[in-house]
Structure 1
Amino acid sequence: MLLAIIIGCEIGFWALLAAGLATRYLLRWRRVSTVLLVCLPLLDVVLLAATVVELRGGATAGFSHGLAAAYLGYSVAFGHGWVRWADERFAHRFAGGPPPKAKPRYAPARTRYEWREFGKATIAWAIGCGALLAMVAMVGDAERTRALVGWTMRLTFVWAVWSLWPISHTLWPARPKDGEAADGGGAAATSGRRGARW
């Protein structure tokens, strides 16, 4: 059941996002769009509540409970960026907005971009592991929460592998070849430009 809720939350996220942007740019219903987009974080609340209810009901933690914690972490850390990514493309396609800028290819803009993304990954790791440890403390039974402890190791492994990317861009930064134009900063240098307007 919990796995179905996770899938439902993922589908619901993109459905709400599409509906919110469609009502904003196609129907010009700004207030309705704002309400729909503000509802996006409620999906995380639903998932968290379902996980807590199931564990407090005596369930033994399994794969789906760990996945729920990981999903929660990455949704909180990267959710706003996903909304901004979709908003830029809707605005360009339906409201005459500027073309979305690709991520920068060369240092130093690319290096800053990779460290910023890794910062989000660190937030996701912290939230996910925090949720897992909170579940372990709430249940108070090592046998029932063994899978959750294993998930902290999975999330830590993903975080450690992710760290190699910004480190490599710092130690061996990509440079434009002779005659090739350097980046103007791309998406990383313009993070403050118009994005999700809600």
Structure 2
Amino acid sequence: MLVAAIVVCEVGFWVVLAAGLLARYGLHRPRLGAALLICVPLVDLALLAFTAADLRAGGAPSPAHGLAAVYLGFSVVFGHRMVRWADVRAAHRWADGPPPEPAPAHGTSARVRLAWQEWARATLAAGIAVVLLITAIAMVGDPGRTGELWAWVGRMGWLVALWLLAGPLWEQARTSWRSRRRTSGPRSQAAWRPPAP
């Protein structure tokens, strides 16, 4: 049941976002569009309320409860950026807005900065998920039933560590390699001569 609620909330996020952009740019109703876009976080609040009600009613903590906490954490941190990303593209397509800024090229210092910023956001999202998980553990109050929720706390640590390796550290290594390759220049190739007799 909770997995269905997560799916419904994810679909609801995109439906409300699309309705807001359609009202703002398709129907030329900017106030209505802004009101709909403001309602996007209400989808997250609905999932939070549903998850808390399920636990208070004695529902057994399950992987779905952990997934709901992770979804909420990442939605809180990345949801606004997703709305802005979609809004900029809709404005460019239907309202003669400026084109979206291109992503920085791989192997540049700008790309490294972006990777560190994204990792910091992911760390914040994981932190919010952990707070929600610990709150759920406290609500259940039975250590024998909260093992699955504690497992999700550990998964958040692994997620942050893997994101660090595959994100900013990888981009930094790639940038350093490209920089060394540019500064070293092409190898000098001296003409080969046979040894003197």
Q: Distance in 1 between matches of 2:83 and 2:4?
A: 23
5+ residue gaps in structure 2? 183-197
The sequence identity of aligned pairs, in percent, is 47
Q: Which has the higher helix share?
A: 2
Q: Distance in 2 between matches of 1:15 and 1:95?
A: 20
Do residues 15 (structure 1) and 15 (structure 2) align?
yes
Partner of 1:169: 171
Q: How many residues align?
A: 178
What is the one-letter code of the residue matched to 1:170?
Q
Partner of 2:126: 125
Contact 1:103/1:113, CA 8 A, preserved across alignment? no
TM-score (norm 2): 0.86
Please tell me whether Structure 1 or Structure 2 has the larger radius of gyration of its CA atoms: 2
Do residues 69 (structure 1) and 75 (structure 2) align?
no
Q: How does 1:1-198 map to 2 (within 5 A)?
A: 1-105=1-105, 106-164=107-165, 165-173=167-175, 175=178
Partner of 1:183: none
Alpha-carbon deviation of 1:103?
1.4
Q: Distance in 2 between matches of 1:60 and 1:142?
A: 12
What is the one-letter code of the residue matched to 1:35?
A
Q: Distance in 1 between matches of 2:141 and 2:112?
A: 43
Moved over 4 A (4+): 174-178
Q: What per-residue deviation string (whole Å, max 9, x for no partner) do you get for residues 22-44 of structure 1?
A: 11011111111111011111111
5+ residue gaps in structure 1? 179-198
Greater alpha carbon shift after TM alignment, 100-109 vs 15-24? 100-109
Partner of 1:196: none
What is the one-letter code of the residue matched to 1:168?
W
What is the one-letter code of the residue matched to 2:101?
K
Partner of 2:191: none
Alpha-carbon deviation of 1:11?
0.3
Alpha-carbon deviation of 1:72?
0.3
What is the one-letter code of the residue matched to 1:18?
A
Q: Distance in 1 between matches of 2:103 and 2:164?
A: 18
Q: Distance in 2 between matches of 1:61 and 1:102?
A: 43
Q: Distance in 2 between matches of 1:16 and 1:59?
A: 29
Q: Distance in 1 between matches of 2:168 and 2:101?
A: 20
Partner of 1:185: none
Once superposed, what is the RMSD of the aligned Cα atoms?
1.6
Q: Distance in 1 between matches of 2:144 and 2:52?
A: 17
Of the two structures, which has the highest relative contact order with CA contacts closer than 8 Å and spacing of 6 or more?
Answer: 1
Alpha-carbon deviation of 1:102?
2.6
Q: Distance in 2 between matches of 1:135 and 1:124?
A: 17
Alpha-carbon deviation of 1:69?
0.1
Give the secondary structure class of the aligned counterpart of 1:161. helix
Alpha-carbon deviation of 1:171?
3.5
Q: Distance in 2 between matches of 1:56 and 1:45?
A: 16
